[in-house]
Structure 1
C-alpha cells in the first residue's frame, strides 16, 4: 500500500498532534484539525502554548494548514487521530474524545483511506470501538473500504532531547499491506527508525505497559519513602547508596500525574477486569501514587504544628503547578491534591509557577498562579515541581521565601537536606 502521495489529516492539535503535523508538513500536504477555535487561531499565528513547536518550526511546515472545518478533511487519504484519552472520576477510561473523532472520520472518509490512531487505549479498543463507528458513519466496510493502523504516541512534554524524530516509532496495521505502508509513512519523518508489530492489539498493549512499568517503579520508591520517613532515614541517601550496584534501577519518589503515567495503567486494568481478572500489583501501585499529594500536604501541616505554627489561617506557597518540570502542562497534575488538602485545613494558598497559564491554573486548582517570584514570606513553602527557575533560586533564595519560624517541604529534593524540614 503506497501512502506517499496522499494528503494527511491530523485530528487533534495538542502535545501529540502538533509535532506530528509540523513534521509531516515540511514535505507533505497536511491539514491540522481541532475543534478548539482559539487553539487553531493561535497556531495560524505560529503560537503554540504547549511549547512543543516553535514559531520557526511551524513556519517551516509550509504545506501545513489549520482548520476547524471538517469539510477541509474530505480530500485526505490518511487520517491520524491524536485526541486525548483521559479517565473519569471513577478511574474508568473516558472514550468520548475518541468516539467523537472516529465519528468525524467516518463522516468525511473516502474509499481506500487509512486511519491511524495514536491515542492511548486498552488492547482491542481500536478495532472494537473505533472501526465500527467509522463503518457506521461512512457506510464503508473495515479492511475493504478503509484500513486501520495504530502507532502509539511517545511524546514527553517539555523534553527537548527525546522528540518525535529521535524516538523509535512503534507501528501496526489492520492488514499486512496497511502495516507496511504505515510503517513506511512514519519512517519518512522518524530518523530513529520504526518497529512494526504483528497486530494492532500488540501495539496498543505495548503503549500501556510502557507507562504502567514506570508507574509501578515510582510507586515502589514512594512506598519506600513512606517507610524510611517513619524510620527517620533520608530516602535520597538510601537510593544513592543502593545505586552504586550496577543493576539497580534508578527511580525516585515523586508525584505521578500527567497525560500518561497516571492514566494509562487504568486503561489496562479496565480491560483486564472486563475479562474477569482483577489486577493487584498495578492497582496497588496506582493507590500509592494517587495518595502522595495528600501525604505531602499532611506532612507539611504536621511539621508546621511541631514548630507551633497554626495551619489554620496560615499562608503557604506551593512552588509549581505543572505535572512535571519545565513544561506548562497541567493535565492530571497531582499538585492539585496538595492544594485541595491544604484548603481542607483552612490554610491560605499561593501558587508560583512561571510556566503555566494563570487562568488555566485557576480553573484547575481554584488558585491562579503567579509568574514572578513572590515578594512576601510564607509560613510554609512546598517545592512541588523541579522547574529550572526554582533550582536557580539557590538556598538563600528559597529561605528568603519562608518566615522564621517556617517550614520548607521539598518534594523534588532540589535543595540540600539541611535547609529543608521534610522531603519525599
Structure 2
C-alpha cells in the first residue's frame, strides 16, 4: 500500500510584508514534492497568485497536485489596523500612529523601539522602562485577552501566542522557522532547538530582462539609487518635495566631486498620499528635479512592472532606499546592495538597526522620525555612496550576500524540513 501524501496547511495574511515568505515557501514545497497535499488559506486577494504558483509547478512537472485554496472572510490585517487607527487617533497619519504603538519586547533591546544596538549606556533606563511597559501592556490588554478567550473556546483547548510557542518544551513542541540567519541578526541568545533559522525567504521573480527590457537597458547605463518605500508608505506632496530636495542635493554633490565619472541616476517608486503630479512641467517636484528628469537621470513612477528583487539582482544598484521591511532588508542583503533605511513603523525600526549594526548602510531619518529632513537624508545617502565608510559598507554588504549564498535558499530549507515533519506526523 502506497504511503499517504504529506499534508501541509499554510495560513497567511494578505499584506506583502507577511505573505511573501508563504508564497515563496508554497512554491518551494511543490517543487520539492509534486505529490504533496498542500493547502493555502488567506484572503481572496491572494487566490490568483496561489493559482499561478500551482500552474507554474505543473508546467515543470505535469503530475504536480494543485494547491487547495481556502478563502478567509473578514477584515485583513491592514484593514483592521487602519480601522483601529481611524477610531483611536482620528485625523492622524498611520505612520505617526504606528510608531506610538507598544509592541513585543526582546531581551537585548525593546523590540521596535528604535533604540540602537549595542544600547548606549544613557539609554539603558529608557530601554528598561520600555521593556516592562510592554510586558504590562500585553498582560493587561483587553483586546488580546478577548481574542485568546475566543480562540480557546473555538478550539476547545488553550490558545497559544507566538511567545508561548517559542518558549515551548517537551514532546509535541512545534517547530518554528525564522526568516533570517544568525549572521544577519543581532547577537543571538541561546536559541531553543525547535527554532530553526532558515535564512532569508524570498520569492522567485521574473528576470528584469524579461519583465521590463527597456528598464533593464536604462539601469545598465549608470549606477542607480533605487527607492521603494513599500506598499503602505505614501507621501504627501510636501513630504515628496522634501525627499526630492535631498535627492537633488545628493546628485549635485556627487557630480561636483566626480565630474568625469558616470553620473548617478535614480529610480523612484513613489506612492502618493493625495492627488498631485510629480513629473509634469511646472509641478512642485518637477521644479526641484527639472534638470535630472529632463536628462533622463531621474525616473519617478507609481508602478514597476519588474519586481523590486529583479531590480536589485541587476548588479546596477548603488544604494537601496527602503522603509525597513523584512522583505526589502533580505532582498538587499541577498544581492549585496547597501541600504539607506527610512523606518516608518513597528519592525521597520528593528531592520534599520540591523543595517547599522552590521555596517551595511545607514538610517536616513532620525531628526523628525518618521518624517524625512532633506539635509539629513542627503548626508546619510552620501555617507553610503561616497564617504569614509563607503568601501567598508560595500565590503560588508558583499560578505553577507556571500554567507547567504553559501547557506542556500531559505524557502527550500523550510520546504524540505516541513515535508520531513509532515511525513512523520
TM-score, scaled relative to structure 1: 0.29
TM-score by length of 2: 0.29
